[in-house]
């Protein structure tokens, strides 16, 4: 065992080690997992999944294979980062509502646009789409890209797929790395190809020029992009925000009613946001933001999205649609950040940069492809020329073969003209054999040639094949030596891709005016707010309250008169004020359950206790008394709590203290504090100073070290008020009147 000495110890700063390690980790995540490569538009997990399916032979014209088989093989050979990441990538590549051009053909439940997840991988099956084979995997056998060792160096995998079109633009990409994220919208294949061709023909073309061909994103869900004028800036910089609206139709019904039908949704709405949209529309009706909704139903199916909202007779349809755009996610924003791996590092790229990188990659791929094809054709030409030459002297070659002792002797004669040891019929044949000069490749082809090749038709076919080979060599040399010729070949391939796989644009691009929604002001009316001991609240009208007055007060902890346009203030023992709009509280019948206060405010029932519930308009007219367990107290003007925030601090507390009483001061003149140890202190309310809500207050009662104020009572001169303390009844007005900050009198319960 090696002994550790000072010479073996490397001293360094801990912070430097952490910084280097984190940077290494971050770059690994960025390059190897989270971000797509600009050349083929794929993340490593997507590339490996497609390549594995290619290697397994799961082509578009062959039977489906279990997804679990594909995932397991990919994980075992190329991507050792867990099966869920591989299956998630596979699922997304099958979903036509997420990808502009799905690369995998899924069979089974691969989820839907409404956010339902895919079935487990053991149930679903998949195979490659034809476009993936033709556009991404077609030339892998021609040595057009570099192959690198896999994670354990037992297999080889392509560093990038030879994409024939800018897949990064066609399918888009989303991913979160360390300290950065990418969000690239999908585009129309036909438009992307036309823009790519335009760049190939004129590399000085501007982004604006490219956008004559590529109009903007083409989302699989359709919709309307409403900020057309901002797209040029987005495509120049690679960042920005695209505003998308759903497509809405109207349908007239009998009786003057109208149905509003949503046929296409904004791309960011796919998934769980569809159900959220439905609940948001329902909430608009519950909150009285609109009174026009009769019914809402989701009639979406495999045929597409269909959300139907039935409106009342004579409803203002245009204003209602504008309300949907303003108040729900029917108009949403897609944040664009075109971040991709370019030349081994992350880079935010504009439209022209992405197309340029892809075109340069296509030129490199084509150069390797035609260089390899040229070499193969030259080898083929050499063999063909040897066979044609051999056919012209076939009798001599047969004589050499019959006179040779072994293959090596015959081969040496064919290549070098060495006749020693070979038996010839005549001297003339020997002289002719000495003049043969076939290449080694030609000699092997001659020696391997079968006798049927000597048939006249076969010889004619060989000559024709040779002519074709010579033509191919000429063509490949022209492609490799002339950029215009190579450009023409690439453009032809792009045209073939467009002809077979392009489809019509789904997303409309326009400049639309801002949606203006005129919210009808609710007619002001007085209501009664009811809150029971479980924190459920509701509002009822005054007539219902009057009919059930006794039951209302028996069954509810707080009963507050308020206006439907006003606010409710909820004070808790943690000195917090929660403000709730009355319009957010459901209005209904007396026996309705209501809604938990937690649902319409930041109140946390597990941490707070409600002390007072009152309307804001009532608070504005009165002062309030605050008393804490440590006997700190103050008067505060109720108008100080007229705030717009949902939650604010209602008072300042010292550590470990809490409010025990918040009281709206009306006609009361006296206050009585009772401590835990049984001390009662009575004094006039005038002795409590008025402070701001941010103040701690003054001491109301002297307490021993372990004593706390437990109860607060308020008295009115001339009104008898008795309380039960323990087993003893106490008349509060008979307690000796003292001064604030006294100890008070002890009463035994």
CATH of the domain at 308: 3.30.1360.40
Within 202-304, residue ranges assigned H as helices are 207-210, 231-237, 273-286
Q: Which residues contact 348 (CB under 8 A, 6 or more apart)?
A: 237, 238, 239, 337, 338, 339
DSSP state of 690: B
Asked if 551 and 456 sit in the same domain, the reply is no
Q: How many CB atoms lie within 10 A of CB 120?
A: 12
In angstroms, rounded to a whole number, what is the distance separating the alpha carbons of residues 223 and 148?
Answer: 42
Asked if 579 and 543 sit in the same domain, the reply is yes
Are 551 and 591 in contact, with CB atoms under 8 Å apart? no
Active site residue 123: yes
Phi/psi at 641 (nearest 5 deg)? -95, 10
In angstroms, rounded to a whole number, what is the distance separating the alpha carbons of residues 378 and 206?
Answer: 42
Domain final position from 278, 312, 329: 329
Judge whether 471 lies within some domain.
Answer: yes
Residue 106 Cα to chain centre, angstroms: 21
Bridge-partner residues for 227, per DSSP? 511
Judge whether 310 lies within some domain.
Answer: yes
Q: Which domain holds residue 412?
A: 360-500
Are 388 and 467 in contact, with CB atoms under 8 Å apart? no
Domain count, the chain: 4
Distances in Å between the Cα of 379 and the Cα atoms of 130, 285, 441, 464, 519 are: 32, 78, 8, 16, 80
In angstroms, rounded to a whole number, what is the distance separating the alpha carbons of residues 618 and 620?
Answer: 5
Judge whether 62 lies within some domain.
Answer: yes
Closest CA to 287 of 539, 536, 526: 539
Residues of the chain with pLDDT under 70: 1-8, 20-33, 178-179, 451-457, 516-522, 749
Query: What pLDDT, on the 0 to 100 scale, is given for residue 501?
Result: 95
The reply to whether the predicted model has a pTM over 0.75 is: no
Asked if 321 and 381 sit in the same domain, the reply is no
DSSP state of 301: B
Question: For residue 530, what are its two tokens?
Answer: 């009811």
Return the SS3 of 398.
helix
Judge whether 301 lies within some domain.
Answer: yes
Which element (helix H / strand E) includes 480? helix 456-481
- CATH code of the domain containing 429: 1.10.268.10
Judge whether 544 lies within some domain.
Answer: yes
In angstroms, rounded to a whole number, what is the distance separating the alpha carbons of residues 165 and 491?
Answer: 10
What is the CB-side half-sphere exposure of residue 518 using CA atoms within 13 A?
4
- CATH code of the domain containing 610: 2.120.10.90
Judge whether 73 lies within some domain.
Answer: yes
Query: What pLDDT, on the 0 to 100 scale, is given for residue 709?
Result: 93
In angstroms, rounded to a whole number, what is the distance separating the alpha carbons of residues 633 and 662?
Answer: 10
Asked if 476 and 547 sit in the same domain, the reply is no
Query: What pLDDT, on the 0 to 100 scale, is given for residue 749?
Result: 66
Q: How far apart are the first and last CA of the chain?
A: 81
Asked if 544 and 625 sit in the same domain, the reply is yes
Q: How many CB atoms lie within 10 A of CB 533?
A: 10
Return the SS3 of 262.
strand
Judge whether 345 lies within some domain.
Answer: no
Are 200 and 359 in contact, with CB atoms under 8 Å apart? yes
Question: Residue 103 class from Cβ within 10 Å (0-12 exposed, 13-18 middle, 19+ buried)?
Answer: buried
- CATH code of the domain containing 75: 3.90.199.10
Check 87, 123, 267, 713 and give the catalytic one: 123
Asked if 105 and 178 sit in the same domain, the reply is yes
Are 438 and 414 in contact, with CB atoms under 8 Å apart? yes
DSSP string, 235-254: HHHSEEEEEEE-EEEEEE-G
Distances in Å between the Cα of 713 and the Cα atoms of 190, 560, 668, 689, 735 are: 79, 20, 10, 18, 12
Asked if 379 and 434 sit in the same domain, the reply is yes
Judge whether 231 lies within some domain.
Answer: no
In angstroms, rounded to a whole number, what is the distance separating the alpha carbons of residues 146 and 660?
Answer: 74
Asked if 277 and 374 sit in the same domain, the reply is no
Question: Residue 690 class from Cβ within 10 Å (0-12 exposed, 13-18 middle, 19+ buried)?
Answer: exposed
Question: For residue 322, what are its two tokens?
Answer: 């504008």
In angstroms, rounded to a whole number, what is the distance separating the alpha carbons of residues 350 and 207?
Answer: 8
């Amino acid at each position: 065992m090696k002994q550790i000495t000072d010479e073996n110890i490397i001293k360094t700063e801990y912070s430097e080690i952490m910084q280097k390690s984190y940077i290494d980790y971050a770059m690994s995540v960025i390059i190897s997992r989270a971000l797509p490569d600009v050349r083929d538009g794929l993340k490593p997990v997507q590339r490996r999944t497609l390549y594995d399916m290619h290697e397994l032979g799961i082509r578009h014209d062959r039977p489906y294979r279990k997804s679990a088989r594909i995932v397991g093989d990919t994980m075992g050979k190329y991507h050792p980062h867990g099966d869920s990441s591989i299956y998630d990538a596979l699922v997304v590549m099958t979903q036509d509502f997420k990808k502009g051009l799905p690369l995998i053909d899924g069979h089974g439940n691969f989820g839907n646009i409404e956010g339902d997840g895919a079935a487990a991988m053991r149930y679903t099956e998949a195979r490659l789409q034809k476009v993936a084979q033709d556009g991404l995997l077609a030339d892998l056998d021609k040595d057009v890209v570099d192959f690198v060792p896999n994670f354990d160096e037992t297999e080889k995998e392509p560093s990038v797929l030879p994409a024939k079109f800018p897949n990064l633009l066609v399918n888009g990409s989303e991913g979160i790395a360390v300290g950065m994220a990418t969000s690239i919208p999908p585009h129309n294949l036909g438009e992307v190809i036309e823009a790519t061709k335009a760049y190939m023909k004129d590399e000085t073309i501007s982004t604006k020029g490219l956008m004559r061909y590529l109009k903007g994103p083409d989302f699989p869900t359709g919709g309307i992009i409403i900020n057309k004028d901002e797209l040029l800036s987005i495509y120049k910089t690679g960042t920005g925000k695209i505003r998308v609206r759903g497509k809405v139709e109207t349908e007239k019904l009998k009786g003057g009613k109208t149905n509003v039908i949503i046929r296409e949704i904004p791309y960011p709405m796919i998934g769980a946001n569809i159900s959220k949209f439905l609940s948001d529309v329902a909430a608009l009706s519950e909150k009285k933001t609109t009174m026009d909704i009769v019914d809402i139903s989701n009639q979406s199916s495999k045929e597409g999205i269909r959300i139907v909202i039935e409106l009342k007779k004579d409803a203002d349809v245009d204003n209602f649609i504008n309300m949907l755009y303003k108040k729900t996610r029917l108009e949403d924003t897609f944040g664009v950040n075109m971040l991709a791996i370019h030349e081994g590092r992350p880079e935010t790229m504009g439209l022209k940069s992405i197309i340029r990188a892809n075109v340069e990659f296509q030129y490199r791929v084509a150069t390797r492809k035609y260089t390899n094809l040229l070499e193969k054709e030259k080898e083929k030409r050499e063999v063909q020329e040897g066979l044609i030459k051999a056919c012209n002297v076939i009798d001599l070659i047969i004589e050499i073969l019959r006179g040779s002792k072994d293959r090596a002797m015959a081969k040496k004669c064919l290549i070098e003209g060495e006749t020693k040891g070979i038996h010839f019929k005549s001297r003339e044949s020997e002289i002719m054999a000495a003049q043969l000069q076939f290449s080694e490749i030609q000699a092997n082809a001659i020696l391997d040639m079968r006798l049927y090749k000597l048939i006249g038709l076969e010889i004619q076919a060989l000559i024709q094949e040779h002519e074709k080979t010579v033509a191919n060599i000429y063509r490949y040399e022209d492609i490799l030596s002339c950029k215009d010729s190579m450009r023409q070949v690439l453009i032809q391939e792009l045209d073939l891709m467009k002809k077979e796989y392009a489809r019509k644009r789904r997303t409309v691009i326009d400049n639309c005016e801002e949606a203006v929604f005129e919210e009808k002001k609710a007619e002001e009316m007085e209501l009664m707010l009811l809150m029971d001991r479980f924190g459920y609240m509701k509002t009822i009208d005054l007539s219902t309250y009057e009919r059930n007055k006794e039951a209302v007060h028996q069954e509810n902890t707080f009963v507050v008169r308020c206006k439907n346009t006003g606010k409710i203030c909820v004070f808790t023992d943690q000195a917090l004020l929660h403000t709730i709009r009355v319009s957010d509280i459901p209005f209904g019948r007396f026996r309705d359950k209501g809604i938990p206060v937690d649902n319409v405010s930041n109140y946390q029932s597990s941490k707070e206790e409600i002390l007072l519930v009152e309307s804001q308009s009532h608070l504005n007219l009165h002062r309030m008394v605050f008393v804490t367990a440590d006997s700190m107290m103050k008067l505060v003007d109720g108008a100080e709590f007229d705030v717009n925030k949902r939650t604010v601090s209602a008072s300042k507390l010292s550590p470990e203290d809490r409010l025990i009483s918040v009281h709206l001061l009306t006609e009361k003149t006296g206050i009585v504090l009772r401590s835990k140890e049984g001390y009662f202190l009575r004094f006039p309310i005038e002795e409590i100073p008025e402070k701001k809500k941010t103040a701690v207050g003054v001491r109301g009662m002297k307490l021993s070290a372990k004593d706390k104020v437990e109860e607060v009572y308020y008295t009115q001169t001339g009104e008898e008020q008795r309380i039960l303390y323990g087993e003893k009844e106490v008349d509060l007005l008979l307690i000796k009147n003292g001064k604030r900050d006294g100890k008070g009198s002890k009463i035994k319960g």
